[in-house]
Amino acid sequence: MPGFSPYSRSVFGLTCSLMLLALGTQAQQNLNLVGHLPYSSNLSDVWGYVAPDGREYALIGAFDGVSVVDLLDPAAPVEVAFLPGFGSIWRDLKVWGTHAYATNETGGGLAILDLSNLPVSVDTSSYRERDLRTAHNLYIDSQGIAYLFGANIDNGGVTMLDLNPDPEQPVFLGAYTTRYVHDAFVRNDTLWTAEIQEGEFSIVDISVKSSPVILGTQKTPIGLTHNAWLSDNGAVLAISEEYPAGHIVTYDVTDPADIEELGRYRSNWSTNIIPHNVFFMGNWLVTSYYRDGVTLTDATRPENLVGTGVFDTSPFSSDGEFNGCWGVYPYLPSGLILATDIEEGLFVLRPTYVRGAYLEGTVRESGSGTPRLYARVEILGSDARPYITDFSGQYRTGTADSGLFTVRVAASGCGTAFIPDVLLQPGEVTVLDIDLACTGTALPPVVEFTPEIRVDPAVFSGSATLSWRLESLWQPGANVSVWNAGGQLVSTETLSGGDGQQLIGGDWPAGTYLLLLRSGGFVQSIKAIKL
């Protein structure tokens, strides 16, 4: 990689790590910095590899290839190999045995890395059968079956390859071609897809790889369903919505014909922060959360998701932009977490997994006992999110802190209640039912105007509709610039007013694009994919 030898990158990384440790961070809880390695180009995903001798490595997708980093001393990570590849903003990696596999959205097919000679060398080859050139992501199950998602073949669905006969010469088994699949999880011949174009996930029986059968589908709250990951017991699926103010959502998937939403989580409820990839690690969710860095969420009670850890890798403010932490990998035997920040490089983190302290109950109108809709429940002086009650008057919230707190409950047409000295303890559920003296009708909480840019559908062939809603934020000269996966400017679309829509993409080649809206000082970005 230009500008850095492995040695200089290691020394520079150690220097930066010491500076970061000395300065501390404003957004750090139960995640401690161990090591840091900067890069001269933007990064994308990260995965871990454990050699037969137990030595741990980080495999990192960079714009121009794959970086292999030795973690023998995690406080001073050292790049030991760099494998050049097609320039691409998107590069994802997975491991099977002593081989790693990498996808990108520019060309070259599926890259195959033989890691058996580390730390001395890495040999490479590629799989390009059936005219495979690009794919968005991949997953490899415990049986050695690789699944490619969003490829230029098989309608952008799921391409299934057997790695067992020869890990460097995969064998095609079948494909799921019903819809474009952005990412997915596989266990025991069941596929859980994140179908970003439809804003939903599907549960698919793939016991016969040549003939997949859909068992159930579920729309997600905002859409742009980005990735999916299953709990260890197979009962709960977590998904991420890659959109400003999108959610991490948990679902009961024990019955694919009757999927039930359990809980929602956002790392920052007062901003448009975007979640990226979510993973189960035991009873916790580990998420790469773009500008908010890495987050830990206690999902022991999946209907009440409580944030219990954060390490903000990004210097950018918490907002709805595609900067910051792209990838996270929490499965190394050492317990270390690897995180890649697009602009800031590789971070090696030491997590402390702590339980949340839960507060749950029902808000009712005193006298009548009627459940109160739209009541706002807050744990003052804590990191807990405010909760707005539903038609049943129920609320669920919690905090990573413990101790005595004052709980405030407010609703339109009611007297505000303050309940002091509420004891909250880690792993414990405190039930607090609240009566409000109310005289007026329940009104929805005031929601501030949120500017919006959308591409519909987000994954398309032919053309798509670009829509925007800026209202008073619109200024003359407002435009949307379109960038391809190689970082090249494709076009600039001028916006005719504060609100509107227009067709785009008709003359774009197939690929993944980043759209950047600018209006005066306001900037917002979104991704789109053309098949």
CA–CA dist 80, 103 (Å, integer):
21
> What is the number of other CB atoms lying within 10 angstroms of the CB of residue 281?
18
Across the strands, what pairs with 219?
Answer: 200
Strands (E), 303-414: 306-311, 325-329, 337-341, 345-351, 357-365, 376-379, 387-388, 394-399, 403-410
Global pTM exceeds 0.95: no
Question: What radius of gyration do the chain's Cα atoms show?
Answer: 24
Q: What is the DSSP string of 338-363?
A: EEEETTTEEEEEEE-----EEEEEEE
Predicted pLDDT of residue 107: 95
Predicted pLDDT of residue 449: 63
CA–CA dist 463, 519 (Å, integer):
24
Cis preceding-peptide flag for 119 (omega within 30 of 0): yes
Distances from the Cα of 42 to the Cα of 36, 88, 150, 217, 275, angstroms: 15, 10, 22, 35, 19
SS3 content of the chain, % helix, strand, coil (to 5): 5, 50, 45
Residues of the chain with confidence (pLDDT) below 50: 1-26
Across the strands, what pairs with 93?
Answer: 102
Predicted pLDDT of residue 446: 65
| φ, ψ dihedrals at 465, nearest 5° | -105, 120
Contacts of 70 (CB under 8 A, 6+ apart): 55, 57, 77, 78, 79, 80, 118, 119
Is the distance from CB of 518 to CB of 505 less than 8 angstroms? no
| φ, ψ dihedrals at 285, nearest 5° | -100, 130
Angle CA 379–381–384, to nearest 5: 45
Predicted pLDDT of residue 10: 44
Report all structural domains of the chain as residue ranges with CATH numbers, in order of start. Answer: 6-351 (2.130.10.10), 357-436 (2.60.40.1120), 452-530 (2.60.40.1930)
CA–CA dist 15, 330 (Å, integer):
24
Predicted pLDDT of residue 325: 98
Across the strands, what pairs with 16?
Answer: none
Note the pLDDT tens digit of each residue in 151-181: 999 999 999 999 999 999 999 999 999 999 9
Amino acid in position 149: F
Note the pLDDT tens digit of each residue in 392-409: 999 999 999 999 999 999
**What's the half-sphere exposure (Cβ side, CA atoms, 13 Å) at 67?**
32
CA-based nearest residue to 309, from 27, 24, 30: 30
Contacts of 179 (CB under 8 A, 6+ apart): 155, 157, 193, 195, 197, 198, 202
